[in-house]
Amino acid sequence: MALLVMKFGGTSVATVERLRRAADRIIQEKEAGNQIIVVVSAMGGTTDDLLAKAKQISNHPSKRETDVLLSTGEQVTIALLSMVLIEKGYEAVSFTGWQAGIRTEASYGRARISAIDTSLIRPCLRQGVIVVVAGFQGMTESGDITTLGRGGSDTSAVALAAAFGASRCDIYTDVTGVFTTDPRYVDQARKLREISYDEMLELAYLGAGVLHPRAVEYAKDNHIELVVRSSFSNEPGTVIKEEVGMEKTKLVRGLAFEKNVSKVTLLGLSNSVSAVSRVFDVIASKQISIDVIVQNVLDEAQTNLSFTVDRDLLDETLDVLRTHEKDLEFNRLIFESGLAKVSIVGSGMASNPGVAAEMFHTLAKEKIKVKMISTSEIKVSTIIDEEKLPAALDTLHETFHLAEEESNSFRPGN
C-alpha cells in the first residue's frame, strides 16, 4: 500500500465549498488504495487578518506570541477539513503541528524542522484513517509553538513525506502546474510535464512562485517526488524530480522574470581587499537583499561595482551608502530604476555556451539593451528596461521553442 502526502494551500481551502472539493480529491486517492497524510494551510486571508490584529497592538509584536496567534489559522483548517471527511463517511483525524510530532528549532517565525516523531501518526495510518496535519507549524523541545515562515506548509508536506517514506507528495494549488513562463505575460506559455529540482529552484527563486524554494530543496535532499497540480481541475500537473531518467530534450526549460528592479553603481570604489565586502556588510546590516552583482576592475586602485535591489528598497539602500560614503571609499554613486530581470533556465545549459549567445542575439534583434548579465550553472539572467519585458519574454519563448512539446527538441545554433 502506497503512502501519499497531499498538500492544499490557502486558496484551495478558503471556503467550506472548497474544503468539500479538496475532500473529494482526498477520497479519490483513498479509494485508490493509498494511505493518506493531508497537509493544509490556513484558509486564504486568515493569516493576514491575524497579523493585522497583532499590528494593531504593536509594530513589532512578540515573535513567540505571533507564532501562537498564527498557528490557530491552520488549526481551524484541519478541524473543518476533518469534519468534511467524516461527514462524507470517512475516518479522519486532525493533528496540529505539535500533535503530529513536528519538532523545530526555537526560532520563532522562521523555525526549521529538526525532527518528526512518526510514532504519533503511524497508528492512524495503519488503521486506514485519513490523517490531516496543520502545515506551517511545529513545537520546540521545550513545548513552545513555532511557525516555519514563508512556504512553511510546503515544507511541512515535504518533511512529512520524507519522514514517512511517502511515494509521492502532491502540492495542490491554484495553478495547474509549472509553466515555461508566466501565462499572464506570454500567451504561448506551456505547462511542463516534468522539471528537475534544480530547474524548479531557479524558476521559483526567480519569481515563478508556485512552490517555495525551501520545500524544493528539502524534496531534493530527500529524493521526494513532488507533483504540482490544481485543486480546481483534474488536469495532470507538473512532476518535480531527479534529473536522472527525465525524458527531456531541451536545454532551456523555462523563462523566469522579476519586475521592479533597480540598479545601483559605485564608481571608483577602492580596490582594496576589504572594500567590496564592507559595502555588502553595510547593506546587510539594514536587512536589504541584493540580487545580481557585477564588478569591473578599472585599474589597480579602483573598481566599479554594480548590483540590483528591489525598487522598494532603493531609497534605503542609497541612504545607507551615502551615510557610510567616507568609510566605503567610493567616488560617485549612481542608480537607475524601471528595470526588469529576465532569465532562461535549464539544467543542460552549463555545457552549452551557445545558449547564452543565442539569448543575447535574440534580445539584440529586438533592440532590447542588456544592462547587466549574470550566469549560473543552469541559468542566464539579464537586466533590461522593464518596458521591454513583454517583448523579451515573447521573443525568448519563441526562440527557445518553449511552446512546443518536449519531443520537438531545440539545439542551440540551429
Could you tell me the smallest distance in angstroms from the CB atom of residue 110 to a copy of itself?
A: 17
Using CB under 8 A as the binding rule, the residues of this chain from 109 to 168 that contact a copy of itself are 120, 143-145
Q: Compute φ and ψ for 367, nearest 5 degrees.
A: 60, 35
Could you tell me the smallest distance in angstroms from the CB atom of residue 136 to a copy of itself?
A: 14
Residue 121 C-alpha cell reads as 501518526
Query: Are the CB atoms for 412 and 355 separated by under 8 Å?
Result: yes
- CA distances (Å), origin 166, targets 160, 161, 196, 349: 8, 5, 19, 32
Using CB under 8 A as the binding rule, the residues of this chain from 35 to 94 that contact a copy of itself are 50, 53-54, 56-58, 61-62, 64-66, 68-69, 71-72, 75-76, 78-80, 82-84, 86-87, 93-94
Using CB under 8 A as the binding rule, the residues of this chain from 208 to 237 that contact a copy of itself are none
DSSP state letters, 116-142: E-TTTTHHHHHTTPEEEEETTEEE-TT
Task: Answer yes or no whether residue 262 interacts with a copy of itself by CB under 8 A.
Answer: no
Report how far residue 29's alpha carbon sits from residue 135's, in angstroms, rounded to the nearest whole number: 20
| Residue closer to a copy of itself, measured from CB, 95 or 400 | 95
Using CB under 8 A as the binding rule, the residues of this chain from 300 to 339 that contact a copy of itself are none
Could you tell me the smallest distance in angstroms from the CB atom of residue 166 to a copy of itself?
A: 23
Among the residues of 111-224, which ranges form H helices?
A: 122-126, 152-163, 197-203, 213-222
| Residue closer to a copy of itself, measured from CB, 98 or 205 | 98
Report how far residue 230's alpha carbon sits from residue 197's, in angstroms, rounded to the nearest whole number: 19
Among the residues of 32-151, which ranges form H helices?
A: 46-57, 63-87, 122-126
Could you tell me the smallest distance in angstroms from the CB atom of residue 95 to a copy of itself?
A: 9
Could you tell me the smallest distance in angstroms from the CB atom of residue 122 to a copy of itself?
A: 14
Report how far residue 358's alpha carbon sits from residue 126's, in angstroms, rounded to the nearest whole number: 55
Binding segment for a copy of itself (CB under 8 A), chosen from 28-36, 95-103, 192-200, 244-252, is: 95-103
Task: Answer yes or no whether residue 391 interacts with a copy of itself by CB under 8 A.
Answer: no
> Which residues of this chain interact with a copy of itself, rule CB under 8 A?
16, 19, 50, 53-54, 56-58, 61-62, 64-66, 68-69, 71-72, 75-76, 78-80, 82-84, 86-87, 93-94, 96, 98-99, 120, 143-145
